[in-house]
Amino acid sequence: MDDLLLYLGIANLLVCAIVGIPLVFGMRKIRKVRDVSPEFAGVWPRVSVIVAARNEERDIEAGLRSLLQLDYGDIEIIVVNDRSTDRTGEILDRIADEHPRLMVVHLSELPAGWLGKNHALYYGTTRATGELILFTDADVVMEPTVLRRAVAYLLQHQIDHLPMLFEVRMPTWLLESFIVTFSVYLMTYCRPWQCPNPKRAGHIGIGGFNLVRADVYQKIGTHEVIRMRPDDDVKFGKLIKREGFRQELLNGAGLMYVPWYASIRELVVGLEKNAFSGVDYSISYSVFAGLSMLLFNVFPFIAIFFTTGATWWLYAVVVLSLWGMAAWAAYHGKARLSCCLGFPLAALMFVFIQWRALTLNLWQGGIRWRDTHY
């Protein structure tokens, strides 16, 4: 038993090195948008900002008013109200009366073969006239110069798709810890620091900020290609990278934020739509990923309480390494550094959410998202 724990500790340390070293050095390569100048010597292209909204009455006003205050001249803002049953439509109409340049479209039906959000975003593009399209979420709050900085960077570096990370604000320490751990997993899975390299597989898309050239959007087949993908943002980025277009990720934390889920229940229910799709609906991969998280991200925190000698030191190094990766993610995401300490609890939550989504998808024959079964 002692030998088994020793070998398992060595395996844990190797996994930490394989994952942690690229993560630490890779995140350093991602440029911060606040370091990008909002100035550009050439002609600024027209930008169409497209927002899909469904039952967003809690946060949509703050997000939409931040869009209306963006320091960008040639811009149009299109909000597609996707069958909302709360006060979202009323709020949108009121703000549109104050700001005539805001275009609000109300949808009452969902065509067969589409997820609501994907259809709403696609429908918004049919009204768009910009050379660039920014897909963003209804609750994202942006600092006024964010779009100018992003467009300037895209033009200067001849980029086709520019997604952006941002700060995620959560009301409790545990929820914030989950976001920190989630960031470690997302960065490890997508390896976005590889995005500019056409020979590497790294890719990413961010639902809260996907800036893309309009002609590139048409060339990849628009949202029709991913019309039934709950993880549309990540798959959007993967599709663009696969088709050979230039992609790069910026970090907008500090200049852009989103108030995500307000409770653990909201988090669990909200992620059931894409936790299974994120592993391409593979039962074996979902089970394997969950077991790997338990073995490499949770067990070391337990093992330090009943191991001794060299084995204890192995697990102590692993624990410190995992906390270090989480602290690095917290630093880049403007989260509290103390949230790294919640890494094992957040990993357990992640496994629960993933396996719950797997079970519900198989039991229900699909997913239920925003009052619609798919």
User: pLDDT per residue over 178-210, tens digit each?
Assistant: 999 999 999 999 999 999 999 999 999 999 999
pLDDT at 340: 96
pLDDT in tens, 13-44: 999 999 999 999 999 999 999 999 999 988 99
pLDDT at 93: 96
Residue 169 to residue 205: CA distance in whole angstroms: 20
pLDDT at 99: 92
Question: What share of the chain has pLDDT > 90, as a percent?
Answer: 86
pLDDT in tens, 276-306: 777 778 899 999 999 999 999 999 999 999 9
Among 88-102, 209-223, 267-281, 330-344, the minimum mean pLDDT is found in 267-281
Q: Is residue 297 within 8 Å of residue 347, measured between CB atoms?
A: yes
Quote the mean pLDDT of the chain.
Answer: 94
Q: Residue 124: exposed, middle, or buried by beta-carbon count in 10 A (0-12, 13-18, 19+)? A: buried
Higher confidence at residue 276 or residue 243? 243
Dihedral sign, CA of 63, 240, 48, 105?
negative
Is the confidence at residue 369, as pLDDT, over 80? Answer: no
Dihedral sign, CA of 206, 208, 214, 219?
positive
pLDDT in tens, 310-325: 999 999 999 999 999 9
* Helix 264-271, helix 173-190: angle, nearest 10: 30
Is the confidence at residue 357, as pLDDT, over 70? Answer: yes
Q: Is residue 146 within 8 Å of residue 70, measured between CB atoms?
A: yes
Q: Is residue 20 within 8 Å of residue 324, measured between CB atoms?
A: yes
Q: What is the mean pLDDT of residues 252-268?
A: 92
Residue 217 to residue 219: CA distance in whole angstroms: 6
pLDDT at 370: 67
Residue 12: pLDDT band with limits 50, 70, 90: very high
How many residues are there in the chain?
374
Dihedral sign, CA of 131, 135, 136, 137?
positive
Is the confidence at residue 126, as pLDDT, over 90? Answer: yes
